[in-house]
Amino acid sequence: MRVLAKRARELQQVPAGRVRRRKATFPPVASSRALCPPSTTYPAKHIKFFPTSKLHSMSEDWKANLNLPKKDGRPQTDDVLATKGNTFESFHLKRELLMGIFEAGFEKPSPIQEEAIPVALMGRDILARAKNGTGKTAAFVIPTLEKLKPKVNKIQALILVPTRELALQTSQVVKTLGAHLGIQVMVTTGGTSLRDDIMRLHEPVHVLVGTPGRVLDLASRKLAEFDECRMFVMDEADKMLSREFKNIIEQILKFFPQSSSGKGNGYQSLLFSATFPLAVKSFMDQHLYKPYEINLMDELTLKGITQYYAFVEEKQKLHCLNTLFSKLQINQSIIFCNSTNRVELLSKKITELDYSCYYSHAKMPQAARNKVFHEFRQGKVRNLVCSDLLTRGIDIQAVNVVVNFDFPKTAETYLHRIGRSGRFGHFGIAINLINWNDRFNLYKIEQELGTEIKPIPAEIDKSLYVVGQPESIPRPFKLDQLPNGKERNHNRYNGQPTQPQTQKQVEY
């Protein structure tokens, strides 16, 4: 007995010398990998052996030197917290990648990241759905970056998204997470100079992010070569596989490497979305090889978002919106209209009411669109009026109020729209202005989403959406990254009027 107890004490302490000695007793990595049955869902990397002490001490060093952003102290819901308790380190990612991840403000993987990253690292095709704003982008960007070989100057990953703004955003995420990898990320979308994009492709590019039309144009002219591109990613996959896009995508895939063994594809496909109104079976059968399906949704709507409707006459909408502006503590808001004309008119009205407001829709010049998108993400403007151009994927952490000034046609549009608030498990509200004609659509969408939209109360509970410390909300770019960021006076935010006592003046 005493001997056993002694041994236990020894084990607790795990002296370094013992560890090293034990290392020799383990079989080499290769053999244990060979023994690993093919059915395992875990990446072979897990079988690697790392001496504890070394791992430990290493982690101390590099973690201390990280340039971590301010911690976002807002409460979060189970949509992102219900994890198995893995850490980013447990995926055995490259050090440089881990640095990028932590510096981007990520702490622990969200459920979708926990599910998707190991499987993606293993090389399997993935078809995944997870709620809006629960970390899908990082779930495909992290394995993509891990598999990248920075020394090979070829396009090694293609990420396709439906809109140009989303391409910009995704590219920014790839750049941020891969900041220490020394990789080149290029965006290519329509609306920008094609000549410039061709020029860019003369330089090394590792990750190409773009919209399908432009990518196809570049690929079919052999300007962008995908013969070494082993990673094909589609965000908003349900939209990408709807009719118009699907044709283009299937043409793009013809330029991808073929499988040498004839089995499966010569590349890995990752498909992500929050909505799948239709099964994408035909595409799956044709282009995916044994896709690993991840479905983390047993309900469609986010837990952190409270939905209200305000049943108004068309002429009252503006008045109602003004009331909302004056009553709510809006951190940032997105207001959706159904037509480009109404977008412009409404945003004009809002500025006339002395609230800062930008607008964006697809019929604007791309330069203006990019500018609006960038400034709004940076939090320079408080309100954004837009069309469904910005319905999908746009991630602005500070948005806590979404207003559907016009009600959408389809359930997935509705879901994506309200998903602009309550990002990453935070809280937010969505307010729908419903007129007489919209009411059946309201019922229909409620039914399709299995949710109930309640009438707007006189007072909305502040705990449902109010942000305590807006300054801690992460922004895509730090000030010193921006051109002339230091010289300009960014610290004062002037976009909100001083008059209403409820609307807190927030200084960024």
Partner 1 sequence: MTSRGNQSNNPSGSRFTGGNQHRRTGSKNWSHINVSSTPNYSASTFMTNGRKANSAAQMGTTQVHNAAYHLPNSAQDQEASLKHMNDRLLFGLIRSIGCKSRITTNSGATYDGILYTSGGITDSGVALILKYPQLKKSSFTPSDEDFNNKAELPETLILSEKDILKMEFDSVNFETFEQTGKPRVNASGKSFRTDIDISANSAFHERELQKWVPDEDIDVRLTEGLEDADSNVHWDQFEVNERKFGIQSTYDENLYTTKISKSAPDYEQRLKEAEQIAKEIESQGYNGNIHLAEERGIILDDAGVDEEDKYSGVAREPVPLNEGDALLLGMLRANTKDQKTELRPTATGKNLPRRQRAANFHGDRAVGASSVTEEKKDGTLESPMGLDALEQDISDHQVQASNSERPKKIVAENRKVSHQNEINSFREFSATFKVPTKFPPDLLPILSKDKVKQNEIMKKSETEECEKDENSEEGDDPSRTADIDTQSKTPTPILSKKKMDPRTAPTFKMNPNSIPFSPSFSSSRNSPALSSSEIVQSPQQRTRKEAASFFPTGKSPKELAIHDVCGEFFNTKFNVLIKARIEYEEKNETKNALIINIEKPFATPPTWPSTVEESYKMAFSKQPEWIGSPAALPPMQKRMYQVSAQPFPMMAPPPQQHPPVPQPVMMAQPMQMDPHNMHMPQPTFVVPQFQQPQFIPFYQPPPNVPQMAYGIPQNQNLANGAIPLSMRQQGHRNSRNHQYTQPQLNARGGNGYKF
CA-wise closest residue to 93 among 166, 8, 180: 180
Q: Of the two residues 258 and 481, which places its CB atom closer to partner 1 in the complex?
A: 481
- Surface-to-core class of residue 44, CB atoms within 10 Å of its CB (0-12 exposed, 13-18 middle, 19+ buried): middle
Interface with partner 1 (CB under 8 A), residue from 182, 488, 502, 505: 488
Q: Looking only at residues 252 through 291 of this chain, which bind partner 1 when binding is defined by CB under 8 A?
A: 275-282, 284, 290-291
Token pair for residue 135? 């970390």
426 near partner 1, rule: CB under 8 A: no
Token pair for residue 313? 């006459």
Q: Looking only at residues 9 through 48 of this chain, which bind partner 1 when binding is defined by CB under 8 A?
A: 9, 11-14, 19, 22, 25-27, 31-32, 35-42, 46-48
Q: Looking only at residues 430 through 449 of this chain, which bind partner 1 when binding is defined by CB under 8 A?
A: 434-435, 437, 439-440, 442-444, 446-449
CA angle (90, 96, 98) in 5-degree steps: 35
Measured between its terminal Cα atoms, the distance across the chain in Å is: 64
Interface with partner 1 (CB under 8 A), residue from 122, 346, 401, 429: 346
Q: Of the two residues 139 and 280, which places its CB atom closer to partner 1 in the complex?
A: 280
Distance CA 393, CA 211 (A): 13
CA angle (172, 158, 291) in 5-degree steps: 115
Distance CA 105, CA 238 (A): 29
> Crossing angle, helix 136-147 and helix 111-122, to 10 degrees?
30
Q: What is the closest distance, in whole angstroms, from the C-beta atom of residue 410 to partner 1 in the complex?
A: 4
# binding residues, partner 1 (CB under 8 A): 188
CA-wise closest residue to 53 among 20, 8, 87: 20
Q: What is the closest distance, in whole angstroms, from the C-beta atom of residue 244 to partner 1 in the complex?
A: 5
477 near partner 1, rule: CB under 8 A: yes
Q: Of the two residues 139 and 357, which places its CB atom closer to partner 1 in the complex?
A: 357
Q: What is the closest distance, in whole angstroms, from the C-beta atom of residue 73 to partner 1 in the complex?
A: 25
104 near partner 1, rule: CB under 8 A: no
Interface with partner 1 (CB under 8 A), residue from 113, 268, 378, 397: 378
Q: Looking only at residues 159 through 218 of this chain, which bind partner 1 when binding is defined by CB under 8 A?
A: 162-163, 168, 171-172, 175, 184-196, 198-200, 202-203, 205, 211-214, 216-217
62 near partner 1, rule: CB under 8 A: no
387 near partner 1, rule: CB under 8 A: yes
Interface with partner 1 (CB under 8 A), residue from 123, 344, 472, 508: 344
Q: Which stretch binds partner 1 (CB under 8 A): 62-70, 258-266, 395-403, 450-458?
A: 450-458
CA angle (461, 467, 470) in 5-degree steps: 160
Interface with partner 1 (CB under 8 A), residue from 409, 472, 500, 504: 409
Q: Residue 42: what are its φ and ψ, rounded to 5°?
A: -95, 145
Token pair for residue 251? 């043409």
Question: What stretches of 403-472 show up as alpha helix (H) in DSSP?
Answer: 411-418, 439-449
**Element at 166 (helix H, strand E):** helix 164-177
Interface with partner 1 (CB under 8 A), residue from 71, 95, 254, 348: 348
Q: Of the two residues 74 and 229, which places its CB atom closer to partner 1 in the complex?
A: 229
Length of the chain: 508
Q: Residue 372: what are its φ and ψ, rounded to 5°?
A: -60, -45
